Structures are given as C-alpha cells and as structure tokens.
C-alpha cells in the first residue's frame, strides 16, 4: 500500500513510519520540522528515518502547504499536530489551533477531493484521551460525552468533529484516542522523559502537582500495533477507538518503579499542577479488542525499562561523540 504518515518526525509518527515501511508498505513521511514542539528531537527522528528502505520524506506544512499529492495514497495516518495540555495555554493556544485544527481541516479537504477519478484515501486520525476530561469511577468508553478542559483537548475534540463531518460527506476515516504514550523517543516535554533525564543526572524529578494524578500509560509499541491494525483493516468509517492500557497508575507509583530501574531513591520537586490536566485517565479498550483484535501487551515496569535503556543508550552515544571530538582536537 502507499501510505502517508503525517508527523513522521514526531515521537509516535517516527515509530509508525518505520513499522509501516518494515512491513513492506511504501511510506511517504510528511512533517514540518520547524513546527515541532521539540525541534531537536524531531530532527534526530527525521534524519534516522532517511536510513529506512521504503521511506521517502517530504517537508510539508499541513496548515499552509500544497496537500494535493497526499490524496494519492491508499491510507493517510495523521499523527502531525501540536500535542500537550500545558503548552496549549496562553500564547501556545494559537499553535494548538493551527497545527491541530487548521492542519486537520486542510488535510481532510485535500483527501476528500483527490485529483481525477481517484478514490479518496482512508484516514486514520490521532486524537487523545484528553477529550474526555477526567475519568470518574469507571473507565472512559467511546460513547462517553466529551469534556475537554484545556485548549489542547478542545482542539483535539474539534479535530474529531471535523473528521466526523468529513465521514458524513463520504470520506472514509477512523479516529484513535491515544492514552499517555511513553517509550523510546518520548517527547522531551513529557513526564517520563523529564523524570528519567533528571534521575540519570542526579537531579530531583520535576513532578507537576502532587503526583496523585493517574494515567493509562501505554507503551509506544502498543500504540504502533493499534495504528498499523487500524490502517490495514477495513474498519467501518466513522469508528472511534480508545487505544490505551486498561490499568491506570498514579504518577507517584510510576516514580517508585522508575527509582528501582534507575537504581536510585528518587527525590522529587513538586511544581504547580497544570490547569486542565486530568486527575485520572482510564481507558476501556473493549472496542479496539472487538474491532481490531488489539490489546495492550506491555506493562509499566517492562515499558519503563525499555525507555530507560533508550535514554542510557543516548547518553552513552553522546559521551562517545564527545570523547571522539576531544581526540580529534589533540595534536597527532
């Protein structure tokens, strides 16, 4: 299949692009690197993608660029956007609107009207558990009302509304609601990334709020498996699926697990809680199991060990590079 992956320089997009190319699909990887919340991380992922057979890269800003060529694909996996509740307040609101809502509106329009007699590609659109607001005493199901509590969550809810509208007009599309994703290449603004870097450098772990908030932490390999399954299965158009681990774990418990993996007793520095951050996210993944045969396989201890190993590998690489640079500067 010819597959477009938007946001392919991102945390999730880079893994999905690799997985699709690795299973024999032709991948057009699309990203606007200056739009990334963490440009350095995006550039690293982007340059790694160049080494993958079956991946062609194109720098296109979905909010302003020419998107006509993207509609020639069989499937478009839309992972581009401006994620994050915290950064969406204040001046960040405009970025969230632009890169989540405007970008998606333009992508849907381009795919709905492909050139000539071509059929529209199928779309898989990434949404977020944040559209639910905070879960109550039971897991969130896809039928629950949306209660976005931040500009980011509102933008994701608007992306879903635009997608549903396009579906009613005949565009084949499905929505995946991802729950707190972690693992190798996690974005530098995300909690585990910040905790592990702090732990490895002997600094206190920066916790937003009291650490009592709980999350359905979901390993990126499970997110990739669900995304690939959604892209390669003929799901009914308009399907919305939770993609999240069925357990929810308080941040302070996750920190205990991390401490064990890092071999330290972690000290913690608390910072103000983020307005609009859910007290609890809790996934009911029953529909994804029924329609995709998908369920999360990676538990938190195993998944965190994988992420810690990735951070350690990066640190070792940068130490080796620094040593090489020092040797190169020494007179022969």
Task: List contacts with ligand NAD (CB under 6 A).
Answer: 6-7, 9-13, 31-33, 35-37, 42, 61-63, 79-83, 99, 103, 126, 128, 178, 180-181, 187
**Count of CA atoms in the C-beta half-sphere (13 A) of 63:** 17
Buried b (16+ CB within 10 A) or exposed e, 168-181: eeebbbbbbbbbbb
Do 254 and 217 touch, CB atoms closer than 8 A?
A: yes
Burial class (CB in 10 A: 0-12, 13-18, 19+), 306: middle
Q: Which is nearer to ligand NAD, 81 or 303 (CB)?
A: 81
Do 218 and 179 touch, CB atoms closer than 8 A?
A: yes
- Least CB distance to ligand NAD at residue 211 (A): 18
**Count of CA atoms in the C-beta half-sphere (13 A) of 10:** 27
Q: Which is nearer to ligand NAD, 152 or 207 (CB)?
A: 152
Q: Which is nearer to ligand NAD, 91 or 328 (CB)?
A: 91
How far is residue 312's CA from residue 262's CA, in Å, rounded to a whole number? 10
What is the DSSP annotation of 81-108? S---SGGGSTTHHHHHIIIIIIHHHHHH
CA 130 to chain CA centroid, nearest Å = 13
- Least CB distance to ligand NAD at residue 174 (A): 14
Q: Which is nearer to ligand NAD, 13 or 133 (CB)?
A: 13
- Least CB distance to ligand NAD at residue 11 (A): 4
With CB atoms as reference, the residue minimizing the distance to ligand NAD is: 10
Q: Which is nearer to ligand NAD, 302 or 327 (CB)?
A: 302
- Least CB distance to ligand NAD at residue 67 (A): 10
Residues serving a catalytic function are: 152
Do 36 and 9 touch, CB atoms closer than 8 A?
A: yes
- Least CB distance to ligand NAD at residue 287 (A): 17
């Amino acid at each position: 299949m010819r597959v477009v992956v938007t946001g392919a320089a991102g945390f999730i997009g880079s893994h999905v692009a690799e997985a699709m190319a690795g299973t024999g699909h032709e991948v057009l990887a699309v990203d606007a690197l200056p739009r990334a919340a963490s440009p350095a991380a995006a550039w690293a992922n982007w340059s790694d993608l160049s080494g993958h057979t079956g991946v062609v890269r194109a720098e296109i800003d979905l909010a302003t660029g020419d998107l006509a060529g993207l509609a020639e694909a069989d499937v478009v996996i839309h992972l581009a956007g401006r994620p994050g509740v915290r950064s969406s307040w204040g001046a960040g609101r405009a970025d969230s609107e632009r890169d989540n809502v405007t970008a998606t509106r333009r992508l849907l329009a381009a795919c709905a009207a492909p050139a000539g007699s071509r059929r529209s590609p199928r779309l898989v659109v990434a949404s977020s558990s944040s559209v639910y607001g905070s879960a109550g005493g039971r897991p969130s199901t896809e039928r629950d009302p949306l209660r976005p509590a931040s500009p980011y969550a509102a933008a994701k809810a608007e992306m879903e509304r635009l997608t549903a509208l396009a579906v009613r007009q005949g565009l084949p599309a499905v929505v995946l609601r991802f729950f707190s994703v972690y693992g190798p290449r996690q974005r530098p603004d995300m909690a585990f990334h910040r905790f592990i870097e702090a732990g490895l450098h002997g600094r206190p772990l920066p916790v937003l709020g009291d650490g009592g908030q709980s999350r359905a932490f979901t390993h990126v390999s499970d997110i990739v498996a669900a995304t690939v399954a959604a892209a390669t299965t003929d799901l009914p158009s308009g399907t919305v699926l939770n993609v999240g681990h069925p357990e929810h774990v308080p941040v302070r418990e996750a920190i205990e697990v991390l401490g064990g993996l890092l071999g330290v007793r972690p000290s913690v520095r608390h910072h103000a809680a983020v307005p609009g951050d859910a007290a609890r996210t809790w996934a009911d993944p029953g529909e994804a199991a029924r329609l995709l045969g998908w369920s999360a396989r990676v538990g938190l201890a195993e998944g965190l060990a994988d992420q810690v190993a990735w951070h350690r590998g990066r640190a070792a690489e940068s130490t080796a590079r620094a040593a090489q640079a020092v040797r190169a500067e020494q007179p022969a």
